[in-house]
Structure 1
Amino acid sequence: MTPLPFPPLSPEVFTIGLGGLTFSLRWYALAYIAGILIAWRLVLAAIRRPALWGPAGAPLTPEQLERFLTWAILGVILGGRLGFVLFYQPAHYLTHPFDILKVWEGGMSFHGGFLGVVAAAILFCRRERVPMLAMGDLLAIAVTPGLFLGRLANFINAELWGRPTALPWGVAFPGEAAQTCPGIEGICGRHPSQLYEALLEGLILGALILVLAFRRGWLKAPGRLMGLFVAGYGLARFLVEFVRQPDAQFITPGNPLGLALQVNGWGLTMGQLLSLPMIAVGLWFIARSRAA
């Protein structure tokens, strides 16, 4: 079956050249910026509605939210980069430590960025005496728009593509995806796993969180919304990993699917290994909030 052609999309929104110097704005960077702005507006809308919260009220003031924004941005960037270095390519960066600073070349890990934001939130909450579980619920509201936009940017960049498929919506990705394609003359369809993740992690999970937060009173049970996000993301990522092409460093000649571990005959990728604890922790927070 002939795969769908990759659309004529450029990773760059625009490029400006001045005196031999060039500046490019990439869709991936724009996704980060737009995601942060949308997150800020959603959280601001939540803390300005006292009826959404329990007797203690909203955990943050608008002024505290503005201060936390800087902490969150640093947590995303530092955590995402260090997570990629430690989880996915530790050997390369151990021998080329200065490459860690080359963030413009790409290489960010959601799980690392998640841990970075968690660390930033814990430090901020202790400093400003903000209740941590309620803060976690606000972060759950904030994260999914950025996930949605980031996965769309991954698709535009033709990166993080899926495994080969004969399904009618398989996409013929360019570049390395075509060079490693088992099809005739390097032409084959691959799962658009970036769009699967945008749909599951961003759109569906995000819509569910917003409905439960603004319509169903889940913000009155601290930790429940956070648990739903953590477990929901972990489950979505775990499922998509079955059709997502593993990172090249996990693929060997005798291990073409890039399996990181064998458990009872099932192969688990690194993304799945990192998602399993998220599912367990998220379910624990949901159960804890219901028992409180």
Structure 2
Amino acid sequence: MLATIPFPDISPEIFTLRLFGMEFALRWYAMAYLVGIVLGWQLARTALRRVTLWPGNTPPMRQAQLDDLLTWLILGIILGGRLGYTLFYQPAYYLSHPLEILRIWEGGMAFHGGALGVLVALLIFARLHRIPTLSAADVLALGTPPGLLLGRIANFINAELWGRPTDAPWGVVFPGQGALCPDGTACARHPSQVYEAGLEGLILGALLIALAFGTGALKRPGLLTGVFVAGYGAARFVVEFFRLADAQFITPGNPHGHVLRLTDTIGVTMGQMLSLPMVIVGLALILWAARRRGPHSA
């Protein structure tokens, strides 16, 4: 069944400049990263300026320290996201082609790897500057959803990371290979990028803002971080039921790309394997933070 919602006629490139015989393109995906980082940075700055939100009415860091931390986080996102993709999704290929790990411009980033990269960057930065780690993590949790929202929308515009075939009235026929089902016929797919944008970006972001500015959650270090980690893990786990697995996991006998198979049709994808620990860790952190209150818990 063809989609009732046509795929929008939007180029992945916002504009292209031709200078000295070379082309320089600004893509929606790059713009999503840039705008998402700026929005998250502004949201974090707003929270830091409201001193009454924090334990002991003392923000965990100064504005200048937040600006310095931003550089560390960008490096953590890029390095962690790339290494995570190579290790979680295509380890055999990149171990035999190690130089291609550096070819970030060819695509291939993993959120879970980027999250680990951010965690490492935060731990190092907090230790160097003697910043309370959990409150600093709460700052990052508050500022992350805008980037997730815009990044997933950019995935949709790029016609990548589409979902499984569907006959739902909101199914979309994506261009190129995305328009073909396994039998070679055109079919509609779940716009799983939009599902993720709504769950990971819009709903989770609104929840974190409400908790941070409306309930005093920032006075309990780690609480907001736990909500973000558990919320993202749960959202990604659910969306994986509608999202098409990466091609390297799909075989004729395993069309859903399960890495852990319970039956021929029931199993767990790589995205779910990586998300389930996030839910467990996030819930544990929520319970721990809710039971204690400290001026600067680390």
Q: Is TM-score (shorter-chain normalized) higher than 0.5?
A: yes
Letter of the structure 2 residue corresponding to residue 86 of structure 1: L
Tell me the alpha carbon deviations over residues 27-48 of structure 1, each in whole angstroms, 9 at most, x when there is no partner: 0000010011111111111011
- Deviation of 1:263 after TM superposition, in Å, equals 4.6
Distance in 2 between the 1:268 and 1:261 partners?
5
Q: Which runs of 4+ in 1 moved over 3 A?
A: 263-266
2:187 is aligned to 188
- Which stretches in structure 1 are left out of the alignment for 5+ residues? none
Counterpart AA for 1:98: L
Structure 2 CA distance for aligned equivalents of residues 186 and 152 of structure 1: 26
Paired position in structure 2 for 1:167: 168
Alpha-carbon distance change, 54 to 264 in structure 1, aligned in 2, over 3 angstroms? farther
CA distance in 2, matches of 1:108, 1:268: 21
What RMSD over aligned residues (CA atoms) do the two structures have, in Å? 1.3
Match in the other structure for 1:108: 109
* 1:15 counterpart SS class: strand
TM-score in terms of structure 2 length: 0.95
List per-residue Cα deviations over 1:139-163 (Å, max 9, x = no partner).
Answer: 1101100000000000000000000
User: Which structure 2 residues correspond to residues 1-292 of structure 1 after superposition, within 5 A?
Assistant: 1-3=1-3, 4-55=5-56, 57-179=58-180, 181-182=181-182, 186-263=185-262, 266-292=266-292
CA offset at residue 136 of structure 1? 1.1
CA distance in 2, matches of 1:253, 1:182: 9
Paired residues in the alignment total: 290
Question: Aligned-pair distance for 1:101?
Answer: 1.3
Residue 295 of structure 2 corresponds to: none
Compared CA separation, residues 88 and 6, structure 1 to 2 (3 A):
same
Gaps of 5+ in 2: 293-298
Q: Secondary structure in 2 aligned to 1:214?
A: helix
* Aligned partner of residue 164 in structure 2, secondary structure: coil
Match of 2:296 in 1: none
Change in Cα spacing, 1:189 to 1:242, as seen in structure 2 (3 Å) is: same
Output the CA distance in 2 between the equivalents of 1:57 and 1:175: 53
Secondary structure at 1:130 match in 2:
coil
Q: By how many angstroms is 1:264 displaced?
A: 7.7
For the residue of structure 1 that corresponds to 2:23, the secondary structure is strand
Aligned partners of 1:182 and 1:188 also within 8 Å: no
Which residue identity is paired with 2:115? Answer: F
> For the residues of structure 2 that align with 1:199 and 1:255, how far apart are their CA atoms?
29
When normalised by structure 1's length, the TM-score is 0.97
- How far apart are the structure 1 equivalents of 2:115 and 2:78? 10
3-state DSSP of counterpart to 2:56: coil
Q: Measure the CA separation in 2 of the matches of 1:182 and 1:94.
A: 30
How far apart, in 1, do the equivalents of 2:157 and 2:99 lie? 28
Aligned partners of 2:179 and 2:188 also within 8 Å = no
Per-residue CA distance 1:175-208 (angstroms, 9 max, x = gap): 12124x146x631110000000000000000000
1:103-146 CA-to-partner distances (Å, cap 9, x unmatched) read: 11111100000000000000000000000110111111011000
Q: Percent identity?
A: 60
- Give the Cα separation in 1 of the matches to 2:53 and 2:255: 50
Q: SS of 1:17's equivalent? A: strand
Deviation at 1:54, TM superposition (A): 1.6
Query: Distance between the aligned counterparts of 1:263 and 1:59, measured in 2?
Result: 46
Three-state SS of the structure 2 residue aligned to 1:249 is helix
